[in-house]
Amino acid sequence: MKKKEKAALVQEILDKHFPDPPIPLEHKDNYTLLIAVLLSAQCTDARVNLTTPALFKKASTPKQMIKLSIEEIEDIIRPCGLAPAKSKAIWNLSRQLIDKHGGKVPGNFEDLEALPGVGHKTASVVMAQGFGKPAFPVDTHIHRCAKRWTLSSGKNVVQTEKDLKKLFPEDSWIKLHLQIIYFARKFCPAKAHDKKNCPICSKIC
C-alpha cells in the first residue's frame, strides 16, 4: 500500500471514530487559548483545564496578567509543571502583546513565534484552533502514530509535520491534528499498545 493510499485509509478511519473532535483545551478567546497551550507543555490537557480557571479568574487579558507578579502566576500554575519558566513566559509574552500588538494575539507564525515561550507547535495550535488557518501541529502522539503507521520516518516533529502535510489535504489539517491525538490516546498509546485491536494498526501495519 502506497503512502497516499495509507493516508486516505487513515483519514477514513479517523472520520469514523472521531468525526467532530472538540478542542481539548478550554478557553474563551485567542489569548486564553495561547496561555492554555503554553501551559500544556509536558502536562496533560486535563490538568491544564483544572488549573486555568483560577488563573483566568484573576487575569484573562494581557493587561490583567501583567498586574500580577511572576510569583503569583507561578503559584497558580504550579500543578502544570515547569512553573518558573512558564510563569515568566506568560508575564513576558503578555507585556509584549501590549507593547507590540495592541494587546491582541497576532495571527501569523512570525509574530507568534517571536513571543516568549512560544515555539512552532504552540504557534501552530493557535493558528489552527484560534484563527482557523491551515496548520498541522505535531505533538508526541502524532509523531508516534505517523511513524507507527509508516507515514513518516521523521526523526523529529519538524520532519513529521512536513511529511504529513504532503500526504493530507490542507483543508483537513486542523481536524486531523485533533483526530490523531484523540485516536492515539484511545487506541494507539505509547505503551501497552494492542496492535490487533487498533483500528488503524490492524489494517496498515
Q: Which of 6, 139, 163, 175 is catalytic?
A: 139
191 tagged catalytic = no
CB-facing half-sphere around the CA of 155: CA atoms within 13 A: 0
Q: Which of 121, 155, 171, 196 is catalytic?
A: 121
- Residue 177 makes CB contacts below 8 A (sequence gap 6+) with 128, 135, 136, 137, 138, 142
Please say whether the beta carbons of 65 and 105 come within 8 A: no
- Residue 126 makes CB contacts below 8 A (sequence gap 6+) with 30, 33, 34, 37, 105, 112
171 tagged catalytic = no
CB-facing half-sphere around the CA of 1: CA atoms within 13 A: 14
- The Cα–Cα gap between 83 and 71 comes to 9
Active site residues: 121, 139
